[in-house]
Chain A
Amino acid sequence: MESKTTPITDARILQLLQKDGNQDKGFRLLLETYQERLYWVVRRLVIDHEDANDVVQNCLIKVYRNIHSFEGKSQLYTWLYRIATNEAVTFLKQKKRRMANSVDDESNNLSNKLEADVFFDGEEAQVKLYAAIEILPDKQKLVFNLRYFEEMSYEDMSGVLHTSVGALKASFHHAVKKIENHIRGYEAA
């Protein structure tokens, strides 16, 4: 899947947003360019479509409120991904606080939930994958998802998560091993 975002698009979005009378046009272009990608980043973290819808809407409204404070010190997409991932991780933390179940229960619950989800048509192997991702700590889950699903380079991810490239590589490696072990355990059971 080739990215439809380019530095030219970002420059155009910022140009419109900074020009009086063109902010709405700029924000509309930002939505057209990024809303779908941000939705999928959030969706793969929170899993449920309705949850993802709420989180991504809140994220985009925060972007709207704060876009004037974006100073261009980082890439626009880096800034947007940072807000989206912060919003999703905050949501997950709040959800965890509300749930008294153990991590294993969460993973099993997710398998059952995905199998019954009308907005999930994946195979059993994909259900196992999402259930395995669920056992990862939030930060590691974030690293795995950005790398595996978004195919983000470690350099770009470093800008989003403020973590060194070396640490991100190690985190992804550990995440992959945990997922592999979890799926093997699942198949052996």
Chain B
Amino acid sequence: MKKDTDALRKELEKEAPFLARLKEKPGGMTVPEGYFDQLQQEVLKRAATENQRPSRRVFQLWPRMAVAASFVAAIGLSIFLFQPDHPAANQESLAISAEEVDQYISQHIDDFDLDMLIQYASAAENEGGLFNDATLDDPQLQQYMEELLDDIDLETLEELL
């Protein structure tokens, strides 16, 4: 990667001289002495452990998906009731906002259909995606799903269902 130093300097001098001057000043964040050597050793150690660990397959998560299926059905029913021609559509008590759906999903993340999210992730991600191999552990999936759910709106959810 070639640094774009000259163009950035010109851009800052024009738009924000204060930031241009500040950039020239030394100091700021530091790291403990020898940190990067330690980091490399630590990562290599963890990588060696990875090699010894038996891979965990996504299908091991199926028991959780059984619970998730009931959740998806519940959301599906809610969306069905949203249909304008459905008699229940005009009942105020059944109205659910996108925020409420989002909140519900966040609170029930452990019960959500992992397979569906993985499919969604695979479609959205390019080669940088972390779902290209099926050896992810639960914390990884949990973390990635939380990120994905931030971006899923009601329309996308409807499409997935």
Contact = CB atoms under 8 A, between A and B. Distances in A.
B93 to A, nearest CB: 29
A151 B8 contact: yes
Given A69-B132, A126-B25, A77 B1 contact: yes
Interface in B4-38: 4-5, 7-8, 11-12, 15-16, 18-19, 22-23, 25, 27-32, 35-36
B99 interface: no
B52 interface: no
A2 to B, nearest CB: 7
B2 interface: yes
B133 interface: yes
A121 B16 contact: no
A180 B16 contact: yes
Q: Secondary structure of the A side of the interface? A: helix
Interface in B32-77: 32, 35-36, 39-40, 42-44, 46-47, 50
A151 B5 contact: yes
A126 B132 contact: no
Contacts of B130: 62, 66, 83
Interface of A: 1-3, 5, 24, 27-28, 31-32, 35-36, 39-40, 43-44, 47, 49, 53, 56-57, 60-62, 64-66, 68-71, 73-75, 77, 79, 82-83, 86, 89-90, 93-94, 119-123, 125-126, 129, 147-148, 150-154, 156, 162, 172-173, 176-177, 179-180, 183
Interface of B: 1-5, 7-8, 11-12, 15-16, 18-19, 22-23, 25, 27-32, 35-36, 39-40, 42-44, 46-47, 50, 126-128, 130, 132-133, 135, 140, 143-144, 146-147, 150
